[in-house]
A and B are shown apart, each in its own frame.
Chain A
Amino acid sequence: MARLNKETLLDWYRQMVLIREFEETCQQLYNEKRITGVYLHLYSGHEAVGVGAIANMEIGKDHIITAYRDHGIALALGVDPNRVMAEMMGRVDGVSGGKGGSMHLASLNHHFWGGYAIVGGHLPLASGIALEAKYNETGAFVICFVGDGATNNGYFHEAVNIAGVWDLPVIWIIENNGFGMGTETSRAAGNPILHERANSYGVKDLGRVDGQDVMAMYEKVNEAAQHVWSGGGSAMIEAITYRYRGHGVSDKQYDTRFSEELEEWKQNKDPITVFRRQLEEKYKDIGSELDDIEAAQREIVAKSVEFAENSPFPDTLEQLYANVYVEES
């Protein structure tokens, strides 16, 4: 377990604030048509899930993969915000050279195997990555984020089952934010208690965790890591969280359809507010340090926008055709 000293906790706070600031800036930039395209899925409201989980990773050794709501994961891992923002805008300095966009961020150095946009499509990839860890006995595990919607398609069944059969070191974290696109989880899942599915596959069921509480999230994923390290194979967690924005930015109905519920979560269960309260209880006079962190993150995001807008668009035929195939084997 990481040492949960003040420095560590402040770093988690920094990551969460950075993600929120980045995401809300993306929304703003989209409204201003400075970020274009139809797909931009924001992580606002989920910050504690990503940050608490990633805090258990040895970055560059352990592996991580997620779906299209991937900006927060990249930032929590420490991927350069400038290059993440440049990818949002499709610029050459983007992490994927402007070819991936919002949904396809990745970083080889961080063992961040990417965001994927086919619902559930990345789940068997997680099992495959875990197979390599087992095959080469690296001692690494894979964190795979799974949206609640993805638990209802065939990929979930096949990927989790094969991880169960082969005892692969995967921590499946279901991010249950209550909606698969615009459909409530309860209207899409025969059994809406999603973590219970683990039992069907011989995967360790670690139950639900409050995904708005970064401390709780950290501890629950640590329990999963202990299970994986003990050679017990994969484990599943259901993190209960909430989405502050629509499924994607083009989803205009969400805020009005669920405004009352949304306000309730924002007022009483906001992960950043919850964590700030925990820190203020634990450390006296920490307020100004937290304020400084917030100001610094605003500055970082503002600079990322500047960096991105100064980066050129790829626009040559050579760039269009680059990397269809690995040229030299």
Chain B
Amino acid sequence: MASRNLPMREALRHALLEEMHRDESVFVMGEEVAYWQGTHRVTRGFLEEFGEKRVLDTPISEMAIGGVAVGAAMAGLRPVAEFMTINFAFLALDALVNHAAKIHYMFNGMFKVPLVFRAATGWGDQATATHSHMPEPIFAHFPGMYVGTPSNSADAYGMLKASIRDDNPVLFTESIGLYSKPGPMPDEDEDFILPIGKGNIVREGTDVSIFTYARGVEWATKAARELEQDGVSVEVVDLRWLRPLDTELIFESFKKTNRAVIVEESLPMYSFGSELAAQIQENCFDYMDAPIKRVSAHDVPLPYSKYLEAMALPDSDKVVAAVKEII
């Protein structure tokens, strides 16, 4: 597959470019996506290539960005709307969860809402409490919208293309810490689509399964390499999608290893980890050899000071420690 090595922001950019060339009804909108070339540079060069009709700068108006995308999608366009950070999507929460996610159901299938909300997510740059979040599980709580979050360039490319082509609303979150990270990418002419709701075994193992997504994959993989030195065989599963959740893959992996550590960049209460632990317990009880461990951020709003911030966040050492507790 690997013929190019590109950072994730470029992978996303290529996915968007290709889909806009393929389908006239796809357009992008958001704060500074046009003249400023995108605050995360994902839409660099788009204005020149597609013009003002299909690359729309919005005011700093998240409720409008959310709702306008919903209306345009219902009427037949395929908007890709960018929230500069997921924190700002909270201002549009109503448009996302009351409208994007519910309209197809509420009107009994009469309307489709084929849109993608892209949002930068994550923490770790001393961005402080209001700009540091991985709140994907909040959005994944609501049926009607898909929630995906890639861990590398190739996945970002294939998952975003699939999201744009799907007839359902998708919240697509992009970990800020991964934007500049290079990774292998398939050729441009490949119809490289990663289906919605399918996870990926990043690394096979037999002693314990680590379930994670986005930046957690990096910590889990690093931890797995260290643990290998001690003779522990770790399977790393990248869920890619929080909704739909690839429960088949999760249960299969757990039944093989009989032990699970869940790694989430997010907060521990009512979280991805809570959900996964419950589902494994309900469905794989007979296969459990140890309690399920969770590695999450500390249960605090994120502080500014870099030592406190680092302390609050998960890392590969914490993952290693968690695995050792149940081996």
User: Which positions in A face B, CB cutoff 8 Å?
Assistant: 63, 65, 95-100, 104, 106-108, 113-114, 116, 118, 121-133, 135-136, 154-155, 158-159, 161-162, 165-166, 322-326, 328-329
Complex formed: what's the CA distance from A132 to B79 in Å?
Answer: 10
Please determine whether B56 and A166 come into contact, CB atoms closer than 8 angstroms.
yes
* A128-B104 contact given A322-B109, A329-B167, CB 8 Å threshold: no
* A124-B104 contact given A155-B63, A326-B168, CB 8 Å threshold: no
From A96, A122, A128, A158, give the contact of B69 (CB < 8 A). A128
Complex formed: what's the CA distance from A121 to B166 in Å?
Answer: 24
From B99, B112, B165, give the contact of A121 (CB < 8 A). B99
CB distance from A93 to the nearest CB of B (A): 11
Q: Which residues of A contact B62 (CB under 8 A)?
A: 158
Query: Between A and B, how many residue pairs show CB distances below 8 Å?
Result: 144
Please determine whether B166 and A127 come into contact, CB atoms closer than 8 angstroms.
no
Complex formed: what's the CA distance from A113 to B104 in Å?
Answer: 11
User: Which of chain A's residues has its CB closest to B146's CB?
Assistant: A325
User: Which of chain B's residues has its CB closest to A63's CB?
Assistant: B75
Q: Which residues of B contact A323 (CB under 8 A)?
A: 104-105, 108-109
- Report B164-182 CB contacts with A as 1/0, cut-off 8 Å: 0111100000000000000
Complex formed: what's the CA distance from A45 to B168 in Å?
Answer: 39
Please determine whether A114 and B112 come into contact, CB atoms closer than 8 angstroms.
no
Complex formed: what's the CA distance from A263 to B72 in Å?
Answer: 43
CB distance from A3 to the nearest CB of B (A): 29
Complex formed: what's the CA distance from A106 to B99 in Å?
Answer: 14
Please determine whether B64 and A135 come into contact, CB atoms closer than 8 angstroms.
no
Please determine whether A162 and B71 come into contact, CB atoms closer than 8 angstroms.
no
Sampled A-B contacts (18; CB under 8 Å): A96-B106, A99-B105, A118-B99, A126-B71, A127-B71, A128-B75, A132-B76, A155-B63, A161-B64, A162-B59, A322-B108, A323-B104, A323-B105, A324-B104, A325-B104, A326-B167, A329-B165, A329-B168
Please determine whether B71 and A125 come into contact, CB atoms closer than 8 angstroms.
yes
Is B66 on the interface with A (CB-CB < 8 A)?
yes
Q: Which residues of B contact A98 (CB under 8 A)?
A: 108
Is B276 on the interface with A (CB-CB < 8 A)?
no
- Report B42-81 CB contacts with A as 1/0, cut-off 8 Å: 0000000000010010110111101111111111110100
Q: Which residues of B contact A125 (CB under 8 A)?
A: 67-68, 70-71, 74, 99
From B56, B106, B167, give the contact of A104 (CB < 8 A). B106
From A65, A154, A161, give the contact of B59 (CB < 8 A). A161
CB distance from B60 to the nearest CB of A (A): 9
Is B144 on the interface with A (CB-CB < 8 A)?
yes
Complex formed: what's the CA distance from A125 to B98 in Å?
Answer: 12
Is B307 on the interface with A (CB-CB < 8 A)?
no
Q: Which residues of A contact B27 (CB under 8 A)?
A: 135
Q: Which residues of A contact B300 (CB under 8 A)?
A: none
Please determine whether A124 and B74 come into contact, CB atoms closer than 8 angstroms.
no
Please determine whether B108 and A113 come into contact, CB atoms closer than 8 angstroms.
no
* A121-B67 contact given A100-B107, A108-B111, A323-B108, CB 8 Å threshold: yes
Is B95 on the interface with A (CB-CB < 8 A)?
yes
Please determine whether A96 and B71 come into contact, CB atoms closer than 8 angstroms.
no
User: Which of chain A's residues has its CB closest to B98's CB?
Assistant: A118
Is B1 on the interface with A (CB-CB < 8 A)?
no
Complex formed: what's the CA distance from A107 to B109 in Å?
Answer: 11
Chain B 104-138 residues near chain A, CB threshold 8 A? 104-112, 114
Please determine whether A165 and B74 come into contact, CB atoms closer than 8 angstroms.
no
Give me 15 other A-B pairs in contact (C-beta within 8 A), A132-B77, A159-B63 excluded: A96-B106, A100-B106, A118-B98, A124-B70, A127-B64, A127-B67, A130-B71, A132-B76, A158-B59, A159-B67, A159-B68, A161-B61, A162-B68, A326-B166, A326-B168
Complex formed: what's the CA distance from A144 to B64 in Å?
Answer: 15
* A113-B61 contact given A125-B71, A326-B167, CB 8 Å threshold: no
From B71, B106, B114, B167, give the contact of A99 (CB < 8 A). B106
CB distance from B135 to the nearest CB of A (A): 21
From A104, A132, A154, A159, give the contact of B107 (CB < 8 A). A104
Complex formed: what's the CA distance from A325 to B113 in Å?
Answer: 10
Is B228 on the interface with A (CB-CB < 8 A)?
no
Which of B70, B110, B146, B166 counts the most chain A CB atoms within 10 A? B110
From A107, A124, A161, give the contact of B71 (CB < 8 A). A124
User: Which of chain B's residues has its CB closest to A105's CB?
Assistant: B107
Q: Which residues of B contact A95 (CB under 8 A)?
A: 110
User: Which of chain A's residues has its CB closest to B29's CB?
Assistant: A131
From A106, A158, A162, A166, give the contact of B111 (CB < 8 A). A106
Please determine whether A324 and B105 come into contact, CB atoms closer than 8 angstroms.
yes
Complex formed: what's the CA distance from A123 to B76 in Å?
Answer: 18
* A132-B67 contact given A114-B107, A322-B108, A329-B167, CB 8 Å threshold: no
CB distance from B59 to the nearest CB of A (A): 6
CB distance from A121 to the nearest CB of B (A): 6
Please determine whether B67 and A123 come into contact, CB atoms closer than 8 angstroms.
yes
Please determine whether B75 and A133 come into contact, CB atoms closer than 8 angstroms.
yes
Q: Which residues of A contact B73 (CB under 8 A)?
A: 128
Q: Which residues of A contact B98 (CB under 8 A)?
A: 118, 121
- Per CB-CB distance, the 4 closest pairs between chain A and chain B, nearest first, are A128-B71, A124-B67, A97-B108, A125-B71
